[in-house]
């Protein structure tokens, strides 16, 4: 009996020794895992002053409202309708408060629906982050030659209908299926090309079948560390899918968020259910902080926007070549002048012999 008790005691002490070693190791591993995960996470904070959601209290109708209505837009208890399903309408809603966030995410809950079938619908809507606000125009209900970012949900293929020769010249990978989501950055000198559905100036895009669906449709615009990302959730599966991802997008702070839509000969209801803006708290290394300087004109790395001075988009090597060949040209010109001067002196000396 005593021997059995001794065996159990030795076994207990042996197990305790093993656990005494394991527990600190497990705690350290758990802490490291938690710390690493926490470092990788991005914290989000809803910014109500830049968000639009039910019950849309006071939108466009009071001095205390954070949002203004423009054109044919109207507010109902369930949505903000930018345009009705009628021809030649345009409307918009604009935030009154400029956004000074460095990193942000805009979640867009929307619905596009109407009586038109297949491609007999139009024209689409846009989400804006721009310097100017409340200016109606031809680009999905807002002004052309804007300064900032435009994200377009284009439901009508102008290029396919108007320029069959252009469409046939594209490879199958370049041909598009509409509706189509695209993004454009402009410094004010870039014009949106309607006849080609903005193709010459877009920085990326994707097909998104978003019309006349019975479930909710969303897309999200994320701007983090000068990287613009757009993802869509349009299949009713509560899953984000990639649409575009572009690094080196430089947007100034202090611009305004807005949304606009337009109809032409063809039409749709363009409804916003919500716009929710989140501030993203993102860690940066000292090197990233040093490089992440404030910008004053919208630009995209490796993409020359019209109106930019040549030195703004010029690499250091290109500047070196310009300076080198300029100096070389001056030296060459100096040698030529020296030769000409020597010949002139030689002719003058021959006159005296």
pLDDT digits (tens, 9 = 90+) for 32-42: 344 434 444 56
Q: How confident is the model over 64-93, as a mean pLDDT?
A: 96
- For the ranges 19-33, 58-72, 209-223, 319-333, the lowest mean pLDDT is seen at 19-33
Question: Looking at the whole model, is its pTM more than 0.85?
Answer: no
Position 324 in a domain: no
Same domain, 60 and 208: yes
pLDDT, one tens digit per residue, over 136-146 is 999 999 999 99
Contact between 301 and 248 under an 8 Å Cβ cutoff? The reply is: yes
Tell me the two tokens of residue 106. Answer: 């805009």
Q: pLDDT tens across 205-215, in order?
A: 999 999 999 99
**Domain span at 18:** 2-41
In this structure, are 71 and 10 located in the same domain?
no
49 and 61 share one domain: yes
The answer to the question of residue 107 being in a domain is: yes
56 and 19, same domain (yes or no): no
Residue 315 lies in a domain: no
Nearest to 136 by CA among 202, 193, 88: 88
In a shared domain, residues 30 and 65: no
With CA atoms as reference, report the closest residue to 252 among 213, 299, 210: 299
Question: For residue 223, what are the contacts with CB-CB under 8 A and spacing of at least 6?
Answer: 103, 104, 105, 229, 249, 251
Which among 53, 68, 42, 55 has a CA at the least distance from the CA of 257?
68
Same structural domain for residues 225 and 167?
Answer: yes
209 and 141, same domain (yes or no)? yes
Q: How many domains does the chain have?
A: 2
What CATH number should be reported for the domain holding residue 85? 2.60.120.200
- Domain check: are 121 and 193 in the same one? yes
Peptide bond into 311 cis (omega under 30): no
Asked, for residue 50, whether it belongs to a domain, the answer is yes
Looking at residues 209-222, what average pLDDT do you find?
A: 97
Question: Quick check: is 308 in a domain?
Answer: no
Same-domain pairing of 53 and 32 = no
Q: How far is 221 from 100, CA to CA, in rounded Å?
A: 16
- Closest listed residue to residue 49, CA positions, set 74, 62, 67, 63: 67
């Amino acid at each position: 009996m005593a021997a059995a008790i001794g065996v159990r005691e030795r076994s207990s002490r042996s197990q305790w020794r093993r656990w005494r070693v394991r527990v600190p190791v497990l705690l350290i591993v758990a802490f490291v895992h938690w710390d690493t995960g926490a470092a990788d996470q991005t914290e989000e904070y809803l910014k109500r002053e830049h968000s639009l959601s039910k019950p849309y209290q006071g939108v466009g109708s009071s001095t205390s409202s954070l949002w203004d209505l423009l054109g044919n837009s109207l507010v109902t208890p369930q949505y903000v309708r930018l345009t009705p399903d009628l021809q030649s309408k345009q409307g918009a809603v604009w935030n009154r408060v400029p956004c000074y966030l460095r990193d942000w995410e805009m979640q867009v809950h929307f619905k596009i629906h109407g009586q038109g079938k297949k491609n007999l619908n139009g024209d689409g809507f846009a989400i804006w982050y721009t310097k100017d606000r409340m200016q109606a125009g031809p680009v999905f209900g807002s002004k052309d030659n804007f300064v900032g970012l435009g994200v377009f949900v284009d439901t009508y293929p102008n290029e396919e209908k108007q320029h069959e020769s252009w469409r046939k010249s594209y490879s199958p990978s370049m041909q598009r299926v509409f509706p189509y989501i695209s993004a454009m950055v402009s410094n004010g000198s870039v014009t949106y090309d309607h006849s080609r559905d903005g193709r010459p100036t877009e920085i990326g895009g994707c097909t998104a079948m978003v019309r006349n669906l019975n479930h909710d449709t969303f897309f999200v615009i994320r701007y983090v560390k000068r990287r613009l990302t757009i993802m869509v959730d349009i299949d009713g599966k509560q899953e984000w899918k990639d649409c575009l991802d572009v690094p080196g997008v430089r947007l100034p702070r202090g611009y305004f968020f807005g949304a606009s839509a337009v109809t032409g000969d063809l039409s749709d209801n363009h409804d916003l259910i919500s716009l929710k803006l989140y501030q993203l708290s993102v860690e940066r290394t000292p090197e990233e902080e040093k490089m992440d300087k404030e910008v004053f004109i919208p630009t995209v790395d490796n993409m020359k926007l019209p109106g930019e001075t040549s030195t703004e988009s010029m690499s250091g090597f290109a500047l070196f070549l310009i300076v080198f060949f300029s100096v070389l040209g001056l030296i060459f010109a100096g040698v030529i002048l020296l030769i000409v001067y020597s010949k002139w002196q030689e002719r003058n000396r021959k006159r005296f012999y």
